[in-house]
Structures are given as structure tokens and as C-alpha cells.
Amino acid sequence: MLQRARRKTATDVTFVLPSGYPCGPVSVVGDFNEWLPGAHPLVERADGTRAVKISMPTGQRAHFRYLADGGHWFDDPDADGHDGRNCFVDN
């Protein structure tokens, strides 16, 4: 799930995964962090979901995927779209 909070020049995008899916550590990896695994790990919240918030320039498209333990890449079904290789979110 993606949550957005728009500000004047940026949009805070919160990437959220359900409790326990998938098992182990997960990070969101994309062009906003040079596709660097582990740069934005999702952290467990009080309700059991895991999330990370990233501030991105408003009016730009960001491509991303999730990377789970063991090198498992997966997409977000709630992304704004998919370009055939990666998910994207429009800010």
C-alpha cells in the first residue's frame, strides 16, 4: 500500500507492507535511492505492518520495487502502474 502526503515542493510517500509478508527484512529500492538495497528498510509499526517514508519531488515519477530477504524482488499491487520491469508512483 502507498500513502501520500503532499507538500509545496515534495510528496512524502509511505511504502507499507502487511504484517508478516514476506518474512524477514524488506527494503524499498528505486531510482530515488540509486537502486541501493538496504538504503530504505521497512520498519515494523505498532499495528504489525512495516513501512518506510521517503520524500520525493512533486511532479515526478519514481520507479521502485521491493527487495526481500534472499534476493526476492516483488512489486506493489497498489503502485500507480508498472512499466513492464518496475512499479512506479507519480508524485
Q: Enumerate domains of the chain plus CATH numbers.
A: 2-77 (2.60.40.10)
pLDDT of 8 above 90? no
- Structural contact between residues 19 and 43, judged by C-beta atoms closer than 8 angstroms: no
Q: How far apart are CA 91 and CA 78, in angstroms?
A: 14
Residue 49's nearest CA partner among 78, 70, 88 is 78
pLDDT tens, position by position, 55-70: 998 889 999 999 999 9
Residue 52 burial (C-beta neighbours within 10 Å; 0-12, 13-18, 19+): middle
Q: How far apart are CA 71 and CA 29, in angstroms?
A: 12
pLDDT tens, position by position, 9-55: 899 999 999 988 888 999 999 999 999 999 999 999 999 999 999 99
Which amino acid would we find at residue 20?
G
